[in-house]
């Protein structure tokens, strides 16, 4: 099945790079490549009525998943969805107030609610994601791989306990220090839920999956292993069907441990030392990243220069996937993205010759 699928892909450069195999150029895709910087995305979103309706309507989610492929010669699509679908399916009530980040109507604060928490059935409560993957895959028609994703167990827990994003994550951190066993209970359930969810995404057609540990970097140094990586590792061990990418924003202090987590690739943010990471990875895991998304606000010639600098820092040995260090920002000029994709392709191809 796996082999059959890959054989059908016209462009499997991403999958080769994730396996640290030689490629004719450095593949590129961009976090949040289907997003508000694209006028066609905004049109589809307006049709849907809201971000969440867009994510929950498979035909429209597939439509925006495909949009960036029509504009740019990217090496992958990523299914349009949210990192917080699992806690929503658990009944916490995900919503977005206009112009704000995600929130939950019923954050997890009391022991009874935490004891009742259970992993959802991804093919029931999260069927809309699987349908979006199936529809996206049909639309892509084997041109490039499709990436599935989820928030990491810890990052889900951050929002589940806090109820929203936060500067200091006071509720989450208080639970960690005052009632750590309750946080561990949430993380156990999340680890099962995320593994089930990613396996269902792979069964529905995802060719690779990414675990977004957006908030692992807020943990104290020794806590990262105990509260984040341990549970990401459980997920990775239980998702054998496709290459895996683990991204921790602010993950620099733990790169070596992340590389031993069982993932195929590490996502790096723009603060990470690419050369040091390459030496640490030593061809065992691939590296994905890590241009500062803000670099795309510069004129195209500067964008091209910044792209070359990133490629030089990772080198042209197998195992680099070009990406940003975080998601594309809404006001990014479309021509900057075009220049970036073009330069990465051309410059890396010339270097690899």
Annotated catalytic sites, by residue? 32, 36, 45, 82, 159
Q: Establish how many alpha carbons lie within 13 A of residue 199's alpha carbon, considering only the half-sphere containing its beta carbon.
A: 14
Q: Is 253 in the site for a copy of itself (CB under 8 A)?
A: yes
Q: How far is the CB of 165 from a copy of itself (least distance, A)?
A: 9
Considering beta carbons, is residue 74 or 268 the nearer one to a copy of itself? 268
The C-alpha torsion from 246 through 92 and 42 to 346, rounded to 10°, is 0
Residue of 134, 203, 313, 352 interacting with a copy of itself (CB under 8 A): 313
Near a copy of itself in 316-335, by CB under 8 A: 325, 329, 331
Near a copy of itself in 95-154, by CB under 8 A: none
Near a copy of itself in 280-309, by CB under 8 A: 290-292, 294-295, 297-299, 302, 306, 309
Q: Helical H runs in 92-212? A: 111-116, 127-140, 153-162, 170-178, 180-204
Residue of 170, 282, 317, 350 interacting with a copy of itself (CB under 8 A): 170
Of 90, 83, 105, 102, the C-alpha closest to 189 is: 90
Contact 83, 150 (CB under 8 A): yes
The 172-191 contact track toward a copy of itself, x by CB under 8 A, reads: -xx-xxx-------------
Tell me the window of 4-12, 171-179, 232-240, 279-287 that interacts with a copy of itself (CB under 8 A): 171-179
Considering beta carbons, is residue 118 or 220 the nearer one to a copy of itself? 220
DSSP state of 286: E
CA distances from 47 to 32, 41, 68, 283 (A): 19, 10, 18, 45
Three-state SS for 191? helix
If one counts every other C-beta atom within 10 angstroms of the C-beta of residue 258, the result is: 28
Residue ranges binding a copy of itself (CB under 8 A): 168-170, 173-174, 176-178, 217-224, 250, 252-253, 270-274, 290-292, 294-295, 297-299, 302, 306, 309, 313, 325, 329, 331
């Amino acid at each position: 099945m796996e082999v059959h699928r890959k054989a059908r892909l016209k462009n499997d450069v991403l999958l080769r790079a994730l396996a640290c195999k030689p490629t004719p150029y450095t593949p590129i895709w961009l976090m949040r490549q289907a997003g508000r910087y694209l006028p066609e995305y905004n049109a589809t979103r307006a049709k849907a009525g809201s971000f969440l309706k867009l994510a929950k309507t498979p035909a429209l989610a597939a439509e925006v998943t495909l949009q960036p492929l029509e504009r740019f010669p990217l090496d992958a699509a990523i299914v349009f969805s949210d990192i917080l679908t699992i806690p929503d399916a658990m009944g916490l009530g995900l919503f977005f107030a206009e112009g704000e980040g995600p929130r939950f109507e019923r954050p997890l604060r009391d022991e009874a609610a935490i004891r009742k928490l259970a992993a959802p059935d991804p093919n029931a409560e999260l069927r809309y994601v699987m349908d979006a993957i199936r529809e996206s895959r049909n639309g892509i028609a084997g041109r490039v791989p499709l990436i599935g994703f989820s928030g990491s167990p810890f990052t889900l827990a951050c929002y589940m306990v806090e109820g929203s994003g936060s500067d200091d994550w006071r509720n989450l951190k208080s639970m960690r220090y005052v009632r750590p066993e309750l946080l561990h209970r949430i993380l156990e359930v999340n680890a099962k839920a995320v593994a089930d969810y990613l396996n269902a995404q792979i069964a529905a057609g995802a060719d690779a999956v990414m675990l977004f540990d957006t908030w692992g970097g807020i943990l104290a140094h020794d806590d990262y292993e105990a509260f984040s990586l341990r549970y990401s590792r459980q997920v990775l061990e239980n998702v054998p069907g496709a290459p895996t990418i683990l991204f921790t924003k602010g993950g620099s202090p733990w790169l070596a441990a992340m590389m031993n987590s069982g993932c195929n690739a590490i996502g790096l943010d723009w603060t990470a030392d690419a050369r040091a990471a390459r030496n640490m990875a030593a061809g065992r895991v691939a590296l994905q990243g890590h241009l500062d998304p803000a670099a795309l606000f510069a004129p195209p010639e500067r964008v091209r220069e910044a792209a070359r600098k990133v490629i030089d820092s990772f080198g042209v040995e197998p195992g680099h996937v070009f990406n940003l260090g975080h998601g594309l920002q809404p006001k990014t000029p479309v021509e900057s993205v075009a220049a970036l994709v073009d330069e990465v392709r051309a410059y890396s191809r010339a270097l690899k010759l």
